[in-house]
Amino acid sequence: MGIFDKMKDVANMVTGGAARVSIEYEPQQAFPGEELSVRVIATSTGGQVKSKGVFVDLQSVERVNMPRGTMAGQENAVNTSYTSFSKEVQISPAFTLEPNETREFEGRVRLPPDAQPTFTGRYARHEWSIRGRVEATGNDPDSGYQSLRVGSNG
């Protein structure tokens, strides 16, 4: 392994580029208390990846965006967000992904029974998202957050 290969491995570790990660899940719309079936697919981008496990991250975020002057006396726009739920679920123990190897990991993730549904209002919205992540040294390679629709039980 030459100096350039070593530099590439370090760059991949720092940026999370050591593996490509994707996530699939069912159902596409879930309800509070329901389980999602998840599959995380990880592919080494060339080098060996020593992982501490595969995780599924589930989160919900409330966002408020009120243009200036929406309320009497309001001089500035209001743009804020609040993470109302965040959870990581380990679906695989530690493993090593060999160079250019692809592996699939399956598991189940349960939504909290009191989960607020996804909604979009005039000035506020509540959004759920899910991602697959391979925990590794440096920046964890992940699928990026994917939108998840949560319905109402009522």
Residue ranges in the chain modelled with pLDDT below 50? 2, 4, 6-15
Q: What is the pLDDT of residue 18?
A: 86
Q: What is the pLDDT of residue 73?
A: 80
User: If residue 81 lies in a helix (H) or strand (E), which one and from where to where?
Assistant: strand 78-92
Q: How many CB atoms lie within 10 A of CB 125?
A: 15
Query: At the top level of CATH, which class does the domain 3-150 belong to?
Result: mainly beta
Rounded Cα distance between 47 and 32, Å, is 40
Task: Give the tokens for residue 77.
Answer: 């726009």
Count of residues making up the chain: 154
| Domain ranges across the chain | 3-150
Q: What is the pLDDT of residue 153?
A: 80
User: If residue 7 lies in a helix (H) or strand (E), which one and from where to where?
Assistant: helix 3-15
Please give the model's pTM, rounded to 2 decimal places.
Answer: 0.82
Q: What is the pLDDT of residue 75?
A: 82
The Cα-based distances of 30 to 90, 111, 116, 131 in angstroms read 20, 8, 11, 15
Q: What is the pLDDT of residue 138?
A: 81
Rounded Cα distance between 62 and 146, Å, is 16
